[in-house]
Structure 1
């Protein structure tokens, strides 16, 4: 299956070197004169065109106790804001849509998931007095999704939440303290919480189209430097700021207190990028990251190659 996966994606992926002129015909409303991209060859087509992966907006929800489709170990991105009913955004849907534009407690948010980097981050959509709405560009950089906003057609790097091309070039989105956990964990804590309802698209929700991906030795469409210290490229790390803790270290320690943060690991969450059915994936566990007062902190559980690509001078927290 792994060989078939690579072959099929190679057929649909364009690996031609890019340039502003190469993309301008597809993006006539993007200001390519403003860009922080130094090597345009890093930007590749992942196969689908602009909006070929349809982002969602203003999704419907149902009570956790009424949800029957999602299996207990399946991952969800949890958004808990004080004074607002907790919400779960299932990876079984984000796998096929990658971005959900929503509003939670008056805060416009973009819940994002890049399967190729395992990067799940929630951003505040308010920028310079505007509320942005995000779509999927179909482009990749270091194998990470490039988002775009529909208001200025600027391009945004999902892993770092920064505009890299266009009118808003250099602008940083604010990441919110959300996290990925199993559906069972969310339900146990929030039996009356809300879960995003299944979208009305013809997709194989619950299936992982990247079967075997997180066991590969090399990520898809990535030609950058590999992580140091002998860390496998597709090993998961917990990123907090510019620091990365290998997930393998957390599994052994369960709880770590370092660099002013507390990291906790708990078994029970399936990998979304292992077997063909998300619910059957290997147990990678769930991570919570808090400060010394127990307050949740923004973080990401991503693949090691992506951390090294976007934080080449980042700190590897190896505990040596």
Structure 2
């Protein structure tokens, strides 16, 4: 029997997580979609403001209720600490909701700012559910544009508009925590691209593909797999003569901006490029990637496009 889906989508306010949560629920046919704000309201009804004043403030101004504020070195640390303490009261209830969904074999999407990598323990659910955790991000200008639009659409818009700086601090905090705990950070540039990248993790239509190309052709591989088809390069294995096992490294590249930064660093650092070229020469330019795509059609398209460009290795059984 298929394990139930548990999809967790976190981000700061104004990034677009509600839109993405609704879209991914629709794509996967998931009926249960819940915001952590609703869970927080239940917790507030149980834990009063005298006991937990940070819980009864918003995530972005919870720092106001912190005691001993002077112990924090700067404003960023203060806002982050207030947010973390605020969320810590909500997370146990979120975990209860996850457990109930799993016990009932129900798929569920949970979205909200309170989903903090490292604080919410997803490991304990992995045996019982197909659980996937994502943090959404956006560059500052796009975030501000969406933040203002969202703020004006809700009753508390005026209050929200005053706190963009704090929400941006929360954005950076969540992204940093995600990177520390190996939670995928998806740049929410557009709904379609974001859904594709999430599905490459959730559906895991993956295949080991062997390529033969020079370092200078890396950009073409990235363009086909990541930019055009919304795929993900999970790892790389180099086949070096004389070694019984390939030299394998996890890379998990799925974000076009991160991929471009890697290519830029390679071009700007001659030594780094020479080292990689040496590794390519040792393996006769032959290496394999586990490549995942959002669906079977995208995976087939990736293979076809790589073949058209002459990047696929044509050895016996497609293996070196």
Which TM-score applies when normalising by structure 1? 0.22
Q: Which has the higher helix share?
A: 2
Q: Which has the higher strand share?
A: 1
Which TM-score applies when normalising by structure 2? 0.22
**Which structure's CA Rg is the greater one?**
2
